[in-house]
Copies of this chain bind each other. A is one copy, B any other.
Amino acid sequence: MSRPPAAREKILDAYCDLLRRDGERAATMDSTAALAGVSKGGLLYHFKSKDALAEAVVERLLAAAERDQAVMATAEEGASRYFVRTSLQSGSDLDTTYSAVVRLAAGAYEPAVRALDTVHRGWLELIQREVGDPHAAGAIMLMGEGLYYHSTLPGTWSRGTFVESLDELLRQVDRLKSGS
């Protein structure tokens, strides 16, 4: 359990935040360094290139997703409800990193695309294990992903709408789970 330098983590946090909030275009090394409170030279000591930064974010996602899926697999409410409920952005480490990787994938960065594949497979697998019917499981996963998609678009009406009705949405999940 080596403890990575605090500066390194601050830089990664800043890069993920910029990706999530302002998009790939705004997530430059200059603005990342500024937000992290270090100079460009300081940043480049920890990450030799921009690719190295992106790589580190992808690794962070895979680690966070593995931890989260361990929790999801044993959640009392069941994997489906856990998944849909936590698809709303809450500011957790997984949220932020996942959103950042989605932005990287949107920029056609291959390692990000592959990492998302892995994470998505894991989620569907866990939901299927609980639900049984693979198509009901697929529908539940899509609901969660739709919720994520809406919660990640900057400042929209839909986020508020769906946040307010989360309880009722979870009851729709129950309907998909039961029978058929």
A interface, CB within 8 angstroms of B: 21-26, 102-103, 105-108, 113, 116-117, 120-121, 124, 134-136, 138-139, 141-150, 153-158, 161-162, 165, 168-169, 171-173, 175-176, 180
Are B154 and A150 in touch, CB under 8 angstroms?
Answer: no
A113's contact among B139, B155, B173, by CB below 8 Å, is which? B155
Q: Residues of B contacting A171 with CB < 8 Å? A: 135
Are A158 and B117 in touch, CB under 8 angstroms?
Answer: yes
Q: Residues of B contacting A102 with CB < 8 Å? A: 153
Closest Cβ of chain B to A141, distance in Å, is 7
Are A138 and B162 in touch, CB under 8 angstroms?
Answer: yes
Interface residue SS majority, chain A:
helix
Q: Residues of B contacting A180 with CB < 8 Å? A: 175
Closest Cβ of chain B to A133, distance in Å, is 9
A157's contact among B107, B121, B155, by CB below 8 Å, is which? B121
Known: A146-B146, A150-B142. A120 touches B158 (CB 8 A): yes
Q: Residues of B contacting A21 with CB < 8 Å? A: 108
Q: Residues of B contacting A147 with CB < 8 Å? A: 142, 146
A156's contact among B22, B120, B142, B157, by CB below 8 Å, is which? B120
Are A23 and B108 in touch, CB under 8 angstroms?
Answer: yes
A53→B136 CA distance, assembly (Å): 41
A58→B23 CA distance, assembly (Å): 18
